[in-house]
Amino acid sequence: MTETQRFPTSNGMKTTTEQKVVTRFAPSPTGFLSLGNYRTALFNFLYAKQHNGKFILRIEDTDKERNKKEYERDIIESFEWLSLPFNEFYRQSERTDIYKTYLQKLVDEDKAYISKEEKEGGRSEVIRFRNQGSTVVFNDIIRGEISFDTKELGDFVIAKSMEEPVFHFSVVVDDFEMGITHIIRGEDHISNTPRHILIQEAIGAPRPQYAHLPLILASDRSKLSKRNGAISIKESRERGYTPEAIINYLALLGWNPGTEQEIFSIESLIQQFSLEKIQKGGAVFNEEKLNWTNKEYIRALPKEKLMNAIEERMSKTGKFTGISRESLILLTPLITERIEKFEDITDMAEKGELDWFFEEPQYIFPESLVWKKGSSRDEAKKHLQALSEILSTLSLEEFTVEKIESIILPYADKEGKGNVLWPMRFALSGKEKSPDPFTLACVLGKEKTLTRLKKAANRL
């Protein structure tokens, strides 16, 4: 698939040649971008790669008062973290001379004019586009034919001065200069498109194909914002989402391949993605679905990578610094089953859900070892002693969850599961809320398990 693309010539304008699809993502570095912004970037990336084209990252940093380098760095780092490589990189702040050339040409051709206007603080000059008030019709790949009567726009401002183009002008010049063939952006830009088309015609630029994406909505179907659930890539990283899960989830916000498939590699997305299958209605952001997707990717991580991620997060809690590799090996399966994102490890630590592994239970209130439905301390003690005898028959190699459960359950079924399993679990963890007793015994190992059961029995 090819589109008309333009390249610079010696006189600074353009000539025409045939080239492949070129898309772009053009954020302003005025804050940390939300997941919705990166969905736009992802769709541009997927479409370009699907057609063996080019994907451009362009920083629109002409707002000197609000732009900050830290936000630009975050954008670049986020692309690296998400593994979305761009083919070319530009900053609008470094392209002032190019905009000035085009502005001067429009003024010279009487397609734009300098207007002296009264402003707060005195008179100033702006450059206005001479709008003939035509009807603009364009075909949106997602929404079909869209028509605008541009008379209501009047002679709109395209620059504050020859050195200060506004968004509407600089974006059109950049798209022309960079040979953008497809403009894939949010539906909030639909109203900007008529201005852009008028400017394209005035500078002699070919019209790109447009695809305006549905907005991402909050659960109440209002526009997603920081106040009602929007999160940034920076926050996503800090909360312990994997980049693969973020990519997978964002791809399905407003797009569906028409199958039941829910987990996609980036290669699969490139192969299956289609602008025509993007829905017109807003896509609702569902954090539960994002968490489910992330859990699937956590489970699929290679063992070493998973252990390293868990170790890093545990160390950050301040409670488990310097955890041994042996302990990490034992805890990783248990933790993996209980988290949806790595931030959950911090919650587990704060709630003391892992203390049983690192600290010996104290049984300050021995009554806590007794099942709450009529069992006595003597009965609880009897069951703990019986459990010690049963488990002592297992070898170290047999001390697995499955084997422990198979050898304990017959006794528990006979004596009452609550009467047996509650004191066992509390004896091993010292907590009312903890993993099941079979998992606790397996993770603690035979020696610690028998020691804690005997210690608890003695407290009774």
* N-to-C CA span, the chain: 79
- Compute the half-sphere exposure of residue 263: CA atoms within 13 Å on the CB side of its CA: 11
Q: What is the pLDDT of residue 46?
A: 97
- Compute the half-sphere exposure of residue 408: CA atoms within 13 Å on the CB side of its CA: 30
Q: CA 424 to CA 443: how far, in whole Å?
A: 14
Tokens 């106040």 correspond to what residue? 227
> pLDDT tens, position by position, for the chain (460 residues)?
333 333 332 233 343 445 689 999 999 999 899 898 999 999 999 999 999 999 999 999 988 888 899 999 999 999 999 999 999 999 999 999 999 999 999 999 999 999 988 777 777 889 999 999 999 999 999 999 999 999 999 999 999 999 999 999 999 999 999 999 999 999 999 999 999 999 999 999 999 999 999 999 887 787 776 666 678 899 999 999 999 999 999 999 999 888 899 999 999 999 999 999 999 998 899 999 999 999 999 999 999 999 999 999 988 887 777 778 888 888 899 999 999 999 999 998 888 888 888 889 988 888 999 988 778 899 999 999 999 999 999 999 999 999 999 999 999 999 999 999 999 999 999 988 888 999 999 999 999 999 999 999 999 8
Is 39 buried (19+), middle (13-18) or exposed (0-12) by CB count in 10 A?
Answer: buried
Q: CA 236 to CA 32: how far, in whole Å?
A: 11
Q: Using an 8 Å Cβ cutoff, are 420 and 412 in contact?
A: yes
* Confidence (pTM): 0.86
Tokens 């980049």 correspond to what residue? 243
Q: What is the pLDDT of residue 72?
A: 95
Q: What is the pLDDT of residue 97?
A: 96
User: CA 408: distance to chain centroid?
Assistant: 44
Q: What is the pLDDT of residue 318?
A: 77
Helix (H, G, I), strand (E, B) or coil at 256: coil
Type of residue at 241: Y
* Cα–Cα separations (whole angstroms), residue 6 to 3, 50, 99, 422: 10, 21, 16, 74
Burial profile 179-214: b = 16 or more Cβ within 10 angstroms, e = fewer: bbbbbbbebeebeebbbbbbbbbbbebbebbbbbbb
Tokens 């979305």 correspond to what residue? 84
Query: Long-range contact list for 188-194, CB < 8 A, 24+ apart?
Result: 188/215, 190/140, 190/143, 190/146, 192/167, 192/168, 193/136, 193/138, 193/146, 193/148, 194/136, 194/148, 194/150, 194/153
Number of helices (H), then strands (E), in the chain: 18, 15
In this structure, the number of other CB atoms found within 10 A of the CB of residue 266 comes to 19
Q: What is the pLDDT of residue 16?
A: 40
Q: Where are the alpha helices (DSSP H) in 83-179?
A: 96-108, 167-177
Enumerate domains of the chain plus CATH numbers: 226-298 (1.10.1160.10), 301-358 (no CATH), 366-459 (1.10.10.350)
